[in-house]
């Protein structure tokens, strides 16, 4: 038996808008831009991807699952994501070497410091 990780499904009030934001933030390819299922991947042949689907309820609490990203330049990447519409988020992390941000619908994600060589 073999399992392959296909995608992470993200509930969204507006899948088109949120999926477009993440495609721009990550520089990923849009595979499906339907209003009820907006899918992006690093490129068409690479997994996993992100798929955004509509839900009637809004986000109310901290994510149970979040994505971590490790850029070469944390400060520059945080500034770029904030300029795209992300915002700082406080999930009780305190002072840490990573930065917690939220996407336009409030989903938290972390921007990690570069790896030490």
pLDDT tens digits for range 58-93: 888 888 889 999 999 999 999 999 999 999 998 878
For residue 3, what are the domain limits? 1-56
Least confident of 7-11, 44-48, 91-95: 91-95
State residue 117's pLDDT score.
67
Strands (E), the chain: 7-12, 29-34, 37-41, 49-54, 67-69, 87-88, 99-102, 108-111
Predicted TM-score (pTM) of this structure:
0.90
**Partners of 108 in beta bridges:** 102
Same domain, 106 and 79: yes
CATH number of the domain that residue 52 is part of: 3.30.720.120
**How far is the CA of 31 from the CAs of 37, 61, 98, in angstroms?**
10, 29, 30
Q: Is the pLDDT of residue 23 over 80?
A: yes
DSSP state for residue 113 in the 8-state scheme: P
Q: Name the domain count of the chain.
A: 2
């Amino acid at each position: 038996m073999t399992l392959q990780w296909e995608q992470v499904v993200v509930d969204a009030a507006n899948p088109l808008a949120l999926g477009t934001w993440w495609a721009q933030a990550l520089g990923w390819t849009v595979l499906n831009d339907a209003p009820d299922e907006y899918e992006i991947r690093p490129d068409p042949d690479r997994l996993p991807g992100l798929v955004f689907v509509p839900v009637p309820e809004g986000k109310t609490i901290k994510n149970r699952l979040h994505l971590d990203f490790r850029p070469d330049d944390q400060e520059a990447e945080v500034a770029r994501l904030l300029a795209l519409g992300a915002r700082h988020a406080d999930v009780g992390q305190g002072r840490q070497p990573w930065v917690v941000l939220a996407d336009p619908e409030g989903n938290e994600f972390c921007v990690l410091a570069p790896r030490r060589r």
